[in-house]
Amino acid sequence: MKSKIYFYAVIAIGTMLIAGCSKNTTEPENKNRSPQISSIIPNPENVMVNQVTSLTCLAEDADGDQLTYVWEADTGTFNGTGSRVDWTAPGTEGLYQILCKVMDGNGGEAQQEVMIDVMPPGN
């Protein structure tokens, strides 16, 4: 009788081990990759107060997602949308940070900043 119980216990344990070690056949989910910003190009790099510089954000998305661009600065004004905008410098000289955020619509986001030197008139 003990040998029958031992036999069935070995069979049950062996079955559980085989079932527990079976290969997972579910496909991994495709994970979204965030966009990448290679650079922000200001043209010109330095401007006088109240003058305009054009800003171009060079970004790509490995998944081919359509990108949305959001430009931010504490002061000055933006004209345009997308990867290229014009920024009108404020009326006060100084070094100003401009931020570009790029979003892929699937939760991926990247951001980069550029510094623009705003000089007084006549420099």
Tell me which of 121 and 92 has the higher pLDDT.
92
pLDDT tens digits, residue range 35-90? 999 999 999 999 999 999 999 999 999 999 999 999 999 999 999 999 999 999 99
Question: Which distant-in-sequence residues (6+ apart) come within 8 Å of 52 by Cβ?
Answer: 79, 86, 87, 88, 89
Q: Tell me, what's the pLDDT at 36?
A: 98
Domains in the chain: boundaries: 36-119
Are the beta carbons of 100 and 70 closer than 8 angstroms?
yes
Nearest to 101 by CA among 122, 81, 118: 81
Give the architecture-level CATH label for domain 36-119: Sandwich (2.60)
pLDDT band, very low/low/confident/very high, at 97 (cuts 50, 70, 90)? very high
Query: 37 - beta bridge partners?
Result: 59
pLDDT at 24 over 90: no
For the segment 2-31, the average pLDDT, to the nearest whole number, is: 60
